[in-house]
């Protein structure tokens, strides 16, 4: 069996949508596959998207299974059931492991600086001549992934491929105001479930001296109300240790509001990013995604 999977800690909408869409594409081509994950779904997968008739498969891993890894290329975050020797394809947009997988998988390692893995998966539908047969619920999942991962097309990592792909999906389902619907649903869930939302979008990874190992992120429409809960946010983040940062992306004004655990982290972030401090919060405009901040930190390390 071909098993499609994502990171072991949590699943965001890009990994979720891309895995489901790729499974369905392979099925249309007569190739059976399963989407397998034990990870928690985070807030970017809204209740309305959970309600569509596509989800993770109930499947028991076999030693002969082959693996496709999506939205991930750092081996540290692979699910425990993955056998690296049985990986047949990786599709990702996070930096740092391109050479390793290119050497191991050749053309089956697709790691590109693009806004969303969902864009790459949609392009595969087009390449196979199956785009017009895509189910509208699959299209909606992919649209949400592109919106979330490009910050509604404001993130620096956004490409013309992301924009073009989204417009094609938009035309397919004939819905042209999906962004406001999606992000409003995300914000309501985060405000109602703040502790869970932070917990399910924490990345613990050593990057370099510029960033703490614990790096959380939330994407909402307007950060103003959330910033009033700073004490509660500090309490949640302190549960992960003494050094952390939380990137709250506010789409309404295209800014990142970065909460940090101590002045040493603040100083390092001020060196790395073009930002300013206001009432104990670093503000960066335009907003930056976590993966963009990590990419900038990696570039700074190599200088």
Q: Residue 301 has what pLDDT?
A: 61
SS3 at position 91: strand
* 8 Å CB contact between 93 and 291: yes
Mean pLDDT of the chain: 94
Within a domain: 210: yes
Q: Residue 300 has what pLDDT?
A: 85
Asked if 198 and 144 sit in the same domain, the reply is no
Across the range 87-110, mean pLDDT stands at 95
Residue closest to 199 by CA, chosen among 42, 14, 4? 42
Residue 263 to residue 256: CA distance in whole angstroms = 18
Which tokens belong to 130? 């199956």
Within a domain: 6: yes
Bond prior to 286 in cis (omega within 30° of 0): yes
Residue 164 to residue 178: CA distance in whole angstroms = 16
Residue 105's CATH number: 3.90.1640.10
Residue 292's CATH number: 3.10.310.20
Across the range 2-7, mean pLDDT stands at 97
Residue 114 to residue 122: CA distance in whole angstroms = 13
Asked if 138 and 158 sit in the same domain, the reply is yes
Within a domain: 188: no
Q: Residue 184 has what pLDDT?
A: 86
Asked if 60 and 197 sit in the same domain, the reply is no
The residue out of 129, 158, 183 marking a domain boundary is 183
Asked if 254 and 118 sit in the same domain, the reply is no
Asked if 158 and 236 sit in the same domain, the reply is no
Residue 46 to residue 180: CA distance in whole angstroms = 13
Give the global pTM: 0.81
Asked if 213 and 175 sit in the same domain, the reply is no
Residue 101 to residue 98: CA distance in whole angstroms = 6
Which tokens belong to 131? 């785009």
Q: Give the structural domain span for 60.
A: 2-183
Within a domain: 96: yes
* 8 Å CB contact between 169 and 122: yes
Asked if 211 and 275 sit in the same domain, the reply is yes
Asked if 163 and 205 sit in the same domain, the reply is no
Residue 224 to residue 143: CA distance in whole angstroms = 26
pLDDT in tens, 45-96: 999 999 999 999 999 999 999 999 999 999 999 999 999 999 999 999 998 8
pLDDT in tens, 162-197: 999 999 999 999 988 898 889 889 989 999 999 999
Asked if 41 and 134 sit in the same domain, the reply is yes
The residue out of 183, 205, 232 marking a domain boundary is 183
Within a domain: 227: yes
Asked if 198 and 235 sit in the same domain, the reply is yes
Across the range 240-267, mean pLDDT stands at 94
Q: What is the dihedral of CA 157, 222, 240, 9, to 10 degrees?
A: -50
Binned at pLDDT 50, 70 and 90, residue 198 comes out as: very high
Indicate the number of domains in the chain.
2
Which tokens belong to 208? 């370099």
Length of the chain: 303
Within a domain: 288: yes
The residue out of 148, 183, 218 marking a domain boundary is 183
Asked if 271 and 214 sit in the same domain, the reply is yes
Neighbour-count burial of 93, counting CB atoms closer than 10 A to its CB (0-12 exposed, 13-18 middle, 19+ buried): buried
Distinct helix (H) and strand (E) counts, the chain: 12, 13
Asked if 139 and 197 sit in the same domain, the reply is no
* 8 Å CB contact between 30 and 2: no
Q: Is the pLDDT of residue 302 over 80?
A: no
């Amino acid at each position: 069996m071909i098993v499609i999977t994502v990171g072991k800690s949590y699943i965001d909408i890009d990994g979720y949508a891309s895995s489901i869409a790729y499974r369905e594409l392979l099925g249309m081509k007569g190739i059976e596959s399963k989407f397998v994950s034990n990870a928690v779904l985070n807030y970017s997968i809204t209740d309305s998207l959970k309600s569509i008739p596509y989800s993770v498969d109930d499947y028991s891993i076999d030693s002969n299974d082959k693996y496709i890894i999506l939205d991930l290329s750092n081996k540290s975050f692979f699910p425990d059931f993955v056998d690296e020797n049985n990986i047949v394809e990786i599709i990702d947009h996070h930096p740092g492991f391109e050479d390793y997988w290119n050497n191991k998988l050749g053309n089956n390692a697709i790691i590109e600086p693009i806004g969303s893995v969902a864009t790459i998966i949609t392009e595969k539908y087009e390449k196979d001549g199956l785009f017009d047969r895509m189910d509208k619920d699959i299209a909606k999942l992919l649209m949400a992934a592109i919106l979330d991962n490009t910050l509604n097309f404001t993130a620096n990592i956004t490409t013309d491929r992301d924009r073009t792909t989204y417009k094609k999906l938009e035309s397919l389902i004939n819905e042209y105001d999906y962004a406001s619907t999606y992000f409003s649903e995300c914000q309501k869930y985060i405000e109602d479930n703040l502790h869970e939302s932070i917990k399910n979008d924490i990345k613990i990874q050593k990057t370099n001296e510029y960033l703490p190992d614990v790096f959380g992120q939330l994407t909402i429409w307007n950060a103003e109300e959330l910033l009033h809960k700073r004490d509660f946010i500090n309490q949640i983040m302190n549960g992960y240790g003494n050094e952390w940062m939380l990137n709250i992306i506010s789409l309404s004004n295209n800014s990142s509001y970065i909460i940090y655990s101590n002045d040493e982290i603040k100083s390092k972030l001020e060196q790395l990013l073009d930002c300013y401090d206001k009432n104990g919060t670093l503000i960066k405009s335009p907003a930056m995604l976590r993966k963009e901040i990590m990419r900038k930190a990696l570039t700074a390390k190599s200088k």
